[in-house]
Amino acid sequence: MKKIAIIGTGISALSLARHLPTLDITFFEKSWRAGGRLSTRKHNDLQFDHGAHFLSPDHGVLGFTEALEKVQAIKKVEAFYTPNYLGQSTKEMKSIIIGNNGIQSIPLNLHKSLHYPTHFSTKIEKIERAEKNYYISSDKDQFGPFDMVFACIPFEQGVTLLQDHIDFKNYPTPTFNSIWTVMLGFDKRLGTDLQFGYYLTKEISFFMNQNFKHEQFDQESWVFNMRSEWTKKYYDIEPYVLEDYVINEVKKTFGSDAKATFKKSHRWKYANTKQSLRDLVGKTYIPSIDHKLYLLGDWSEGPAMQDAWLSGKKLAKHIEEFNLKI
């Protein structure tokens, strides 16, 4: 049975592992848990989905929702939303898919269902070839030999890790939008019946109440995404300055005198794929010359959660048909 290393445990990596035939797979993850940007932050009794927020029921990727239902990762809810608060758009009810226990339920439940060994808190820094096998190394340990290695990581990190094995001059660089995300808790309701929406102000592109997702009742908690253009301009802003600014803007917009009881911000450098590899060259993965090393990620297919799932599924099909021949 071929020995496989998968670097990363985001959606593209989990999709790849799930769609490959049964193999001797080992995951390597630099964080302490699976998930990538599908992240739920907890603070005392508060929870915030501060990476991806939800999945649309009509996402269009065959089998994705069913796979998440099978591992009991999701639930469908109705939410009151507006597509353009600043433009005074009408409010309506919208069906969305959320995590059973935060958006992190999606990668955590998928990863658990695969039953493959995983080295957490292990950042892979080097890949070496010895004869027909590959060895991968962190700052402390070496692992291997492996027949194949899949790096399901951000493009920029992939170039650094795989530059000795892949000629990246043959591939254009996908482009990304960075986004500042602000998580806020308040001592009482802000005075709106909306649960999420877009274009709250000229600077805030997305807002979502967390209470209905996480069944929080003692305080009201929200997540706000700054516009990508604003984030680019204020990329290095001090978090406390940003957080206080958003608190004031939100209270002013909703006409609220609520007091902020919690504030935290996070800058996502690769938050949203602007031009994917598929957009640029019609491919969704980058192989080495011997087709035993591959680079892919959510930048391969598109910006959404379902795009990352599809990129892993497509590569698994390619591997099964042309490489492994098990």
pLDDT digits (tens, 9 = 90+) for 64-98: 999 999 999 999 999 999 999 999 888 999 999 99
Residue 158 has a pLDDT of 96
Q: What single-letter DSSP state applies at residue 219?
A: S
pLDDT tens digit string along 128-152?
Answer: 999 889 999 999 999 999 999 999 9
CATH code of 315's domain: 3.50.50.60
pLDDT at 216 over 80: no
Q: What is the identity of the amino acid at 6?
A: I
| Of 65, 4, 69, 1, residue with least CA distance to 316 | 4
Two tokens, residue 214: 């996480």
Do residues 78 and 93 make contact, with C-beta atoms less than 8 angstroms apart? yes
Confidence band, pLDDT 50/70/90 cuts, at residue 163? very high
Confidence band, pLDDT 50/70/90 cuts, at residue 227? very high
Mean pLDDT of 211-228: 90
pLDDT at 244 over 80: yes
Residue 323 has a pLDDT of 62
Two tokens, residue 182: 């602000």
pLDDT at 29 over 70: yes
Mean pLDDT of 98-107: 96
Domain assignment of residue 91, given as a range: 3-324
Residue 87 has a pLDDT of 92
If you average pLDDT over every residue of the chain, what do you get?
A: 94
Q: How far apart are CA 109 and CA 38, in angstroms?
A: 12
Residue 193: burial class (beta carbons within 10 Å; 0-12, 13-18, 19+): exposed
Residue 279: burial class (beta carbons within 10 Å; 0-12, 13-18, 19+): middle
Q: Which residue has the tokens 């915030």?
A: 48
The model's pTM: 0.94
Q: How many domains does the chain have?
A: 1
CA 47 to chain centre: 17
| Of 122, 128, 115, 157, residue with least CA distance to 17 | 115
pLDDT at 122 over 50: yes
pLDDT at 57 over 60: yes
pLDDT at 183 over 70: yes
* Crossing angle (nearest 10°) for helices 11-19 and 105-114: 30
Q: How far apart are CA 196 and CA 224, in angstroms?
A: 10
Two tokens, residue 47: 């929870």
Q: What is the identity of the amino acid at 282?
A: G
Beta strands in 64-166 (DSSP E): 74-82, 92-99, 118-119, 126-130, 133-137, 142-146, 148-152
SS3 220: strand
> What percentage of residues in the chain have a pLDDT greater than 70?
99
Residue 135 has a pLDDT of 98
Confidence band, pLDDT 50/70/90 cuts, at residue 33? very high
Whether omega before 239 lies within 30 degrees of 0, making that bond cis, reads no
Lowest mean pLDDT segment, chosen from 133-137, 181-185, 267-271: 267-271
Residue 326 has a pLDDT of 42
SS3 218: coil
Residue 324 has a pLDDT of 55
